[in-house]
Amino acid sequence: MPELPEVETVARGLRAVLPGRRILGVRLGKTDFIDDPAAIEQQLPGTRINEVRRHGKFLVLDLEASNGGARDLSLLVHLGMTGQIVICPPGARIAPHTHVFLVLDDGQELRYTDIRRFGRICILADGSREEVFGPLGLDPLEATEAEFLGALHGRRARIKALLLDQHVLRGMGNIYTDESLWRARIHPMRLGARLKCDELRRLHRAVRGVLTEAIRLRGSSISDYVDSHGQPGEFQRRHRVYQREGKKCFRCGAPIRRVIVAGRSSHFCPRCQPAPRSHHSRQ
DNA sequence: CTTACGGCCTGGGTGC
DNA sequence: TGCACCCAGGCCGTAA
């Protein structure tokens, strides 16, 4: 599932080949995950890709209109659960569930494949930037310790829910929240407001450490994830709790447990991550 | 306002 | 062999 490290890996791969390329044409398959398919078909051809960025879990291609007058725009791609965006030669075999083809001026194609179509593609003009990006929280890698503490302190929701909430931090998903909480030795059901300062500092360090290492290993390939060249990541080999229910904790040997928190399955070590002793928490 | 929860989208994997 | 069901992430509506 593409979260921050996977999207960052894809962005870096595309950044190596896309800037300067011009989009010649667009072909679309199913379009129910595209905000405005007609706009994609009409506005993309002729534009030049200036920059490739990541914003939270969004991949952002900054485009420059060819005919001076038109305003610049950005193409946003959210990979959802099963989205893949790859560069390939035009003759390459078309993977099932490929729904967007961008023909580039060097003969290559940029293709978007998404089995479940939980992803999203939209065009951002300058005016709508705030509408999409405005509600998003801090980038977990850019946030200072003070900013991180400020975003979580006083919040009464469970820490697992807070880490997953894109309005609080942008880019964390289920894998990296579980891995970060394990590293920080914090139970997923703890309430944000109940965390001590040093626990929050530990969590900040853990989040940064986990994400940085995951980026270094090019993300986690646990279902369909591949990077922009079709290569899997390696961080799934370093998972300490995610999808390790019943296996031994790497730190203490206790069996990893799984519970539902914030509607998401949450993996943790019952010994390293002590349960809060509130009324209805069950370790 | 904040939080919790259920439902919806889709289709591959699992287990009977 | 088939088939019902679970589950994933994000989002939205509703309730407390």
Helices A145-152, A197-216: crossing angle, 10 deg rounding: 120
CA of residue A63 to C1' of nucleotide B7, angstroms: 37
List protein-proximal bases of chain B (any atom < 7 A from a CB): 2-7, 9-12
- pLDDT score for A70: 65
Distance in angstroms (rounded) separating the CA atoms of residues A185 and A274 = 8
For A99-120, the pLDDT digits (tens) are 999 999 999 999 999 888 888 9
CA of residue A265 to C1' of nucleotide C10, angstroms: 15
Q: Is the CB of A32 under 7 A from strand B?
A: yes
Nucleotide closest to A114 measured between CA and C1': B10
CA of residue A115 to C1' of nucleotide C8, angstroms: 12
* pTM of the entire predicted model: 0.92
Helices A197-216, A174-184: crossing angle, 10 deg rounding: 130
- Give the residue with greater pLDDT, A167 vs A131: A167
DSSP element (H, E) containing A78? strand A73-78
Alpha-carbon distances of A191 from A62, A155, A172, A255, A268, rounded to whole Å: 39, 7, 18, 24, 16
Which positions of A are catalytic? Answer: 2-3, 57, 264
Q: Is the CB of A115 under 7 A from strand B?
A: yes
> Which of these, A223, A43, A24, A26, lies nearest to A112 by C-alpha position?
A26
What is the CA angle A119-A120-A122, rounded to 5? Answer: 160
DSSP 8-class letter at A10: H
Contact status, residue A52 vs residue A15, Cβ threshold 8 Å: yes
- pLDDT score for A52: 94
